[in-house]
């Protein structure tokens, strides 16, 4: 693979509309972009999503030498469900946590919900679901986490998130634990501003970090960074761009060998504070393997161009790029295999299957007794 091919593996793009726009197709083809993400704005129905995902795969892979793109979606359950119009309406992870509590803390339901989500996104052509949220919901004023978290207790989040990860990945979809090293205690939405947490290491070791350590032990394939400043770790940069956070803490201490994925570079927490070129440079230095550019194709193009320039003029950056690209290709080999376009007829047999509806009914019934 050329260095340019490797750089492309470091990016996932998003776009507007329900068909692949020419500028996105060009980035996928010419930029060798490694992935694409869909949101509600891209989704109308089963046939349309299958056709769109197939068109993305065709654009990004024009010969047998190039891996298919990693198609991803945020299908968490609860209020974050991009496929709500036609997929099973999965309860929030807080409801799953409550249901598990009603059964004495056993994590079986979390495992089964992870597998359910995997089956439903996989039948539409997605290879990664950006879930579970393993943040601990310790701040009632948090505007962005809340019921997306399994619980307010780090031990409960650790146990249930681990089971969820195993369920999802054993059903054939890459899971992504987020938002490292913990977004649960913020009182700001990082889509809108840059949060800061003043907690010392004793608190982080006790509350925020254990669920991520548990997810690593469970074999989670990817971990998403938080656009949050942690004073005890790096008082000047958000975790996404911090060498003090991603290297020493996540790679060395926790022993994580999978893919480190940035949260969206379009979010105001970073986009309003760092130029695109700086985000990419600092992210690469920090150890980010894969960057999300979820809406702004102009920013995505600038980010890819920056990564190419940095890699071409600096052998250390080039080595980092090749290392990250290898991690991405290993993830794709594990979860994508021989790519085939999704079949809408098969998808209709999976989505809202009777067994899936029965499972979510049981979760809702149990959580009401917790």
Give the C-alpha separation, 262 to 290, whole Å.
Answer: 6
Residue 191 among the catalytic residues: yes
β-pairing, 80-81 vs 75-77, is antiparallel
C-alpha closest to that of 361 among 43, 24, 116: 116
Among 191, 266, 314, 343, the active-site one is 191
Query: Are 258 and 329 a contacting pair, CB within 8 Å?
Result: no
| The pair of three-digit structure tokens given for residue 222, joined into one six-digit string | 């990817």
Query: Are 223 and 229 a contacting pair, CB within 8 Å?
Result: no
Residue 183 among the catalytic residues: no
Give the C-alpha separation, 321 to 144, whole Å.
Answer: 32
First-to-final CA distance of the chain: 53
| The pair of three-digit structure tokens given for residue 205, joined into one six-digit string | 């070791």
Burial class (CB in 10 A: 0-12, 13-18, 19+), 84: middle
Contacts of 26 (CB under 8 A, 6+ apart): none
Give the C-alpha separation, 167 to 143, whole Å.
Answer: 28
Give the C-alpha separation, 304 to 284, whole Å.
Answer: 12
Grouping H, G, I as helix, E, B as strand and the rest as coil, residue 12 is strand
Among 6, 129, 234, 263, the active-site one is 263
**Residues with a known catalytic role:** 191, 263
């Amino acid at each position: 693979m050329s260095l340019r091919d490797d750089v492309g593996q470091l990016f996932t793009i998003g776009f507007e509309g329900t068909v692949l726009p020419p500028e996105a197709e060009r980035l996928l083809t010419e930029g060798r972009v490694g992935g694409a993400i869909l949101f509600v704005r891209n989704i109308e129905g089963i046939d349309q999503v299958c056709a769109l995902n197939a068109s993305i795969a065709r654009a990004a892979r024009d010969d047998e030498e190039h891996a298919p793109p990693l198609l991803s979606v945020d299908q968490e359950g609860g209020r974050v469900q991009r496929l709500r119009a036609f997929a099973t309406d999965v309860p929030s992870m807080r409801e799953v946590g409550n249901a598990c509590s009603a059964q004495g803390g056993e994590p079986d339901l979390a495992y089964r919900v992870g597998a359910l989500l995997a089956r439903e996104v996989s039948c539409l052509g997605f290879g990664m679901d950006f879930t579970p949220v393993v943040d601990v919901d310790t701040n009632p004023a948090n505007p962005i986490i809340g019921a997306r978290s399994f619980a307010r207790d780090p031990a409960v989040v650790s146990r249930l998130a681990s089971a969820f990860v195993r369920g999802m990945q054993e059903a054939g979809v890459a899971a992504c634990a987020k938002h490292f090293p913990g977004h649960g205690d913020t009182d700001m939405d990082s889509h809108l501003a840059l949060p800061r947490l003043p907690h010392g290491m004793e608190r982080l070791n006790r509350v925020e970090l254990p669920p991520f350590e548990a997810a690593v032990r469970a074999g989670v394939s990817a971990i998403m960074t938080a656009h949050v400043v942690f004073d005890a770790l790096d008082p000047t940069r958000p975790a996404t761009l911090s060498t003090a956070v991603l290297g020493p803490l996540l790679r060395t201490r926790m022993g994580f060998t999978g893919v480190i994925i940035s949260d969206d570079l379009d979010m105001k927490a970073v986009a309003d504070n760092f130029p695109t070129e700086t985000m990419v440079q600092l992210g690469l230095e920090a150890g980010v393997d894969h960057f999300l550019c979820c809406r702004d194709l102009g920013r995505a193009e600038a980010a890819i161009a920056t990564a190419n320039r940095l890699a071409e003029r600096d052998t250390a950056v080039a080595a980092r790029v090749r290392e990250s690209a290898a991690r991405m290709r290993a993830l794709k080999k594990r979860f994508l295999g021989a790519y085939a376009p999704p079949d809408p007829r098969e998808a209709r047999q999976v989505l809202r299957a009777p067994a899936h509806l029965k499972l979510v009914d049981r979760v809702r019934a149990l959580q009401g007794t917790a």
